[in-house]
Amino acid sequence: MSSTITKDAEQYLETLADELAISEARYEQAQASYESFGRHLHREGSTIRKFQPQVYVQGSFRLGTAIRPISEEEDYDVDAMCELRALQTSQLSQKKLKELLGVEVKSYHAAKKMTNPVREGRRCWALNYADGAQFHMDIVPALPNAQRIRLLIETAGHGATWADTAVGITDNERENYAQTTDDWPRSNPKGYAEWFKLRMGTLFETRRRQLAEKVTASVEDIPIYRVRTPLQSAIIILKRHRDSRFNGKLEDRPISIILTTLAAHSYSNESTIGEALVSILSRMRSHVHVVNGKYVIANPTDPLENFADKWEDHPQRATAFFSWLDQAQKDFTELAKMAGVARIAETASGSMGKIVTERVIKRASSPGGLTRVASVAPVGGVAFENTPRIPTEPKGFA
């Protein structure tokens, strides 16, 4: 990609990232919901209170890279983990753990008079909130698994820097799902978030500190999603580009953890979104490795886990990823050279969506509409116009 980025292209990308990012109100709504569920698990009468449950968010909501759905009819997908810290994987089966949590998920559902039924997924329990809330929460049962993961990683000759927060999770498609064994599927959302913060570099810490001073809070109280770095914004833009290209073809769509990991590896502390996109798109391919004829994109917190493991059985997914990457490089190379924000937005409308394009053009045509540089997420406001959505059943909210 060209290293030359016009001022108008930078302005467009800053505005685009604001329009695609979900509002702080959505983040706060999600946080209130999983915290409410956590309080329910610690109430008197909870069947799992004695196991020291801890509920925390994972995925894009934890990293600050969640994006607004293409359609206003789509839900936000909030991924949460429920870790029972006083149990070990050797004490019970995945099936038993999932059943234990399921009792409390259904209890919470009844206590809050939620109307949409509880749904069981492959690895989680799903709470579908009232229609107007526009999100559902997937709750993955988990147990601490640091000791075993550290041993596995170090035995294989790798460093285990992030192993202290590793967990074992449930998967009802595993052969040993109903067996009591130490061999559980693995995850480490806390470790991944810490690695991601390091990849955001000094810019993240600087902006986090500035925001803390602005709202008179301690730095530690500022979650990742409140700080907007070029890496987060670039990932948000790339995810929308991917979603538009694979609209209706979800089977082959590159998964978000692959995009996020490759983007984070490729980021070099660039100070603007345009520079970050140039860096990321020019380097992403170099972080996809081939080992013994297989594509490998290792989990940075667990090098024994391959995020691209499905590509071996579904080679069309590898083809789809590289095809998307080529297209993204082409699209953003052309965009970087263009002048006129409205013209840029119109050109990019095919890959970014009509509604978002109209909003960007509207801001471009308004006096001073593109003067703000997106350095932090808005405080006490929203990053885009939220269409009011009133729940059909008020008690559907947590």
Instruction: Give the pLDDT score at 396.
Output: 32
Global pTM value: 0.88
Domain ranges of the chain: 7-21+195-393, 24-187
d(CA 306, CA 308) in angstroms, rounded, equals 5
If 0-12 CB within 10 Å is exposed, 13-18 middle and 19+ buried, where does residue 340 land?
middle
Q: What is the mean pLDDT of residues 89-96?
A: 97
Contact 257, 237 (CB under 8 A): no
Residue percentage of the chain with pLDDT more than 70:
89
If 0-12 CB within 10 Å is exposed, 13-18 middle and 19+ buried, where does residue 215 land?
exposed
Strands 125-128 and 298-299: unpaired
pLDDT at 75 over 80: no
Judged by average pLDDT, the poorest of 44-58, 79-93, 154-168, 217-231 is 217-231
- pLDDT tens profile 7-61: 999 999 999 999 999 888 888 888 889 999 999 999 999 999 999 999 999 999 9
CATH of region 24-187 = 3.30.460.10
